[in-house]
Every structure is written in structure tokens, then in C-alpha cells.
Structure 1
Amino acid sequence: MPEPILTLTDAMVAFDALRAVDGVSLSVPRGQRRAIIGPNGAGKTTLFNAIAGMVTPTSGRIMFDGHDITKLPPHRRAQLGISRTFQITNLFPTLSVQDNMVLALRGLSPRKFSLFGRPDTDSVEALRIAAALGAARIVERADVTVKQLSYGEQRQLEIALSLVTTPTMLLLDEPAAGLSPSERSMVAEIIRSLDRDITVVLIEHDMDLALGLVDFVTCMFEGRILVEEAPEGIRRNKKVQEVYLGKPRHA
């Protein structure tokens, strides 16, 4: 098995008396596609935000690619190779697709202080932008203003923005939320086609979609890991069925 790129050890995130994440330990091998699932209130979003740096664990440790990132802010994690999308689109609607890509790319480069200077891109930037737009199947919309994109295209653009910084780990927060069936199929195909050099960790409420995209699943319940299995095992697991559907009632 490949070495882990992400390791959590006894991670806890507490809000006063509430332990939203309660002593979670897990390991994600390099190149794996991992889903974090669970019913509402299970703690998966808080765990996701702890990995991304949006919240700081109360205790425990998070290691990424040999670095202790437990207390690092999001921009430092991004510099180390972690990129993420959000459940709600986070774009500049009055700028073009291309300009959004330039801003995302330069945000981690020394040129970030010249965002409003020369608008042209150099050859390396242009290649990275084209590759990310191509991977997200939206390259033909590069000159279109974001507000003119459909909602599905905006989700594709968010994936492109997360790829343009050439991450080693991609965090996808409900990438198919609010999409039509055809748009969901497009996003699923984009995720499936991502290079295996990129480790993918995703949250997705649509269990059928999530299980069709990943190699391994972490199911959470009440802030803790309930079970970890391959998708086939998760589908048959009685504990998972109970937390999603409720325990069967007996006469």
C-alpha cells in the first residue's frame, strides 16, 4: 500500500461542551480517493474543515506529506499542496473564467502582489490554466464572464480553480450539490479522470455518487468514525444502514 499522505491522530474539535470531532484517527494513502460520509451532525464537515485549516483542532495532530499542519492557516496548507472546493460557489462573478483562473494561480506565487498590474500571463501560467480548464471540461468557456455560466459550469470552474495550483491533495466539499443529473454525471466524470498523482478526499451527501467515485470510505457518526471500508462493504454494512435509515422496529 502507498505511504500515507494524510494522517490524523486523535483529532478533536470541540465547541464549548460539544465535541463535533471526537478523537478521530485516520490515514489516507497517497493517490487514494477517499469519501467521508455520515448523516447530518456526524462531524464530517468539521473534520473536513480541520484538514483544510478552516478550524483548528482542540487536540490531536494532523500530518500532511511529512509536515505537521495541525495549526497552520489555510494559505500555508495551500502552499504545501492542499487545495479545496466549497459547497457554495466562491467565485468572482463579474470577471471572466480566465481572470478567475489567473487570480487563483497568482494567489500562491510571488506575482500575487501584482494582481492588478500587467494582466497578461506568461507561458508557464498559460499552460497551467489551459490544463486545469481542460481537466474540468470548461476550456471553451475561458473568455465568458462567470455570471453567464450555468450553475453546473460554475462548479466545473471551481474544480479548475482548485487544480490550477497543481495540488497533491484535493478536498471536494459536496462537488455535486445542487446539480441536475446530467451535471452530476459531468462532475463525476471529471473526478474520475483526475490524475492519480492527486489524492482526493470528498464529502458528498449522495451516497451512491460518492461510493461510485472512491476507493475507500470513512463513515462518521456523532463525531467519531463508525466504520471504514471499501465501497462494496459500506453498501452492505448494517451499522451504516442504521445510522442513515434508522434501526428496524421490531414487534
Structure 2
Amino acid sequence: MTNSILSLQNVSVTFGALRAVDGVTLSVPAGQRRAIIGPNGAGKTTLFNAIAGVVPISSGTVQFDGVDMTRFTTNKRASLGISRTFQITNLFPQLSVQENIRLAVCGLSRRKFALFGSGQSNPAEKEAIDLALENSQLTAQRNTEVKTMSYGEQRQLEMAMALVQKPKLLLLDEPAAGLSPAERVKMADVINALPRDLTLILIEHDMDLALGLVDFVTCLHFGQVLTGGTPDEIRVDEKVQEVYLGKPRHA
């Protein structure tokens, strides 16, 4: 994992006088699994949105897979191979799991512009649907109506829909938010089982979950990179303990 797939150089995002992201520089190797952590207001979601193109970058540059995408739209970035999930699910509750995924697959095809033609999936689309079901561990729920599913299963479905475009980089915004302990374990299993050549960046407030899923951690504080390291290094880092995990108590 020596080649960087994502590189940020001095990236800042401002909202009026507020500097939500302040001169962030980082490099993510291809295939790495990285967590972005930090206290509330540290700039984590804003940084995610800057990578995905949801908010404009005030200064700095963002490169993805060798392409400067600093001024690219979200659609253009998605076409390069970036996909993401959100903190709040946005699904079609009256449709089945398979039908939700099929809509995501069709959204990638030129067929979405056709007013006429067969409504059936072609072989390539069927293959993409089956793979997304398998990767999200929802094959058994293929024909289940979304409205009858648990919230944890709906989060898995959202991930399946993000995976249909076969992204190079998957951004997971608090994938375990609102889940029960059992659902968190299941979500961790799903993430751990994803292909290792898929680069992952996640925001997650459950530190035990986050540190158990990733190879590297970047800690933000007041919009800046406070430190970075392996999960084991982050667990014992005094700066992280002070601003986020809480100072250890000594007898």
C-alpha cells in the first residue's frame, strides 16, 4: 500500500468567519482503511463533504487516483470511483431490497434516460445486484420490503447501494449510528468482509468499533489534523486522550 489514491494538500473550508476545516494535509494509500475521529465540531463531516464535493473547498487541492478533482462536482467525483453513505438513511420503504439496489444500478446506466423499453434487469445489472447483496450480506433478504427491516439492515442496504458502482473509495459516515449493540457487531462484520482492495474512510463515534475496523486513524481538532497513527498508537496517544478519549485517571 504505497500508492496514494487520495491526497489532500492544505485543504480549508470556511463558512463566513468559521474555519471548519483548517489546512488539512493527508494522504490515503490505495486499499487502506482509515478512520477520521475527533470531538464534536472538529470538522469531520465537513472534511468528508469536501472530499465528496458536497461543499466547495475554500483553498487547497484534492487529488484522487492521480486526478486533480478540487473543482469537480459530486457527479464527476462519483464517476471517478468515489461513493458514500450518509448519517441518515434515504431508501424507498415500499420497495424490496432488490428493487432499491436495482434503482441504484439503473442510475449508473444510460437506460435511466430511456422512456421506453424493458423494465427488466439485463445480465450485467443482475450480476451487479447479486454482488451488492452478497457484499452487504443481504442475499437472504432480497425480496423483503424495506419498511419491514430493522434499522441495522437498512444501513446495510444503504451500503449495498453505495457499492453497486464498484467504487475505488467508499466513504462511510457513521455507519453504526443509531444501531443496537448486536447490529453494531453485524455492521462490523459487513465492513470487515468488504474487498481489501476497496479503500475505506469512515467517521465513527464508537471508538471501539472504529479502531477495530481500520489500519490508520486521523484525529481532527478544531478543523486541523491533531495527529495520526495506527489504532494501537491512537489508544495511548496523550493528545488524543486529552481532546477526545478523556485523560486516563491515575491513582
In structure 1, runs of 5+ residues without a counterpart are none
Pairwise CA distance, 1:118: 2.7
State the SS of the aligned residue for 2:90. Answer: coil
CA contact (8 A) 2:11 2:24 kept: yes
Aligned equivalent of 2:197? 197
1:185 matched to 2:185: yes
Aligned equivalent of 2:22? 22
CA contact (8 A) 2:238 2:247 kept: no
1:73 matched to 2:66: no
Name the CA shift for 1:116/1:59 in 2 (closer, same or farther; >3 Å): farther
Between the aligned partners of 1:99 and 1:115, the Cα distance in structure 2 is 19
Aligned equivalent of 2:11? 11
CA contact (8 A) 1:35 1:218 kept: yes
CA contact (8 A) 1:106 1:115 kept: no
Name the CA shift for 1:115/1:16 in 2 (closer, same or farther; >3 Å): farther
- Tell me whether 22-31 or 123-132 shows the greater mean CA deviation: 123-132
After superposition, what is the alpha-carbon deviation per residue over 1:196-249, rounded to whole angstroms, capped at 9, x for unaligned? 121000000011110000000000000000001000000000000000255689
- Tell me whether 38-47 or 142-151 shows the greater mean CA deviation: 142-151
Aligned equivalent of 1:234? 234
Pairwise CA distance, 1:110: 1.1
State the SS of the aligned residue for 1:178. Answer: coil
Q: How does 1:78-227 map to 2 (within 5 A)?
A: 78-114=78-114, 118-227=118-227
CA contact (8 A) 1:79 1:108 kept: no
Between the aligned partners of 1:17 and 1:116, the Cα distance in structure 2 is 51
Name the CA shift for 1:150/1:65 in 2 (closer, same or farther; >3 Å): same
Name the CA shift for 1:213/1:245 in 2 (closer, same or farther; >3 Å): closer
Report the residue type matching 1:67 in the other structure. V
**CA RMSD for the aligned pairs?**
1.7
The TM-score normalised by the length of structure 2 is: 0.95
After superposition, what is the alpha-carbon deviation per residue over 1:76-118, rounded to whole angstroms, capped at 9, x for unaligned? 1111100100110011112221111111112122112138853
After superposition, what is the alpha-carbon deviation per residue over 1:171-190, rounded to whole angstroms, capped at 9, x for unaligned? 00000111111111111011
State the SS of the aligned residue for 1:26. Answer: strand
Pairwise CA distance, 1:15: 0.2
Between the aligned partners of 1:116 and 1:175, the Cα distance in structure 2 is 37
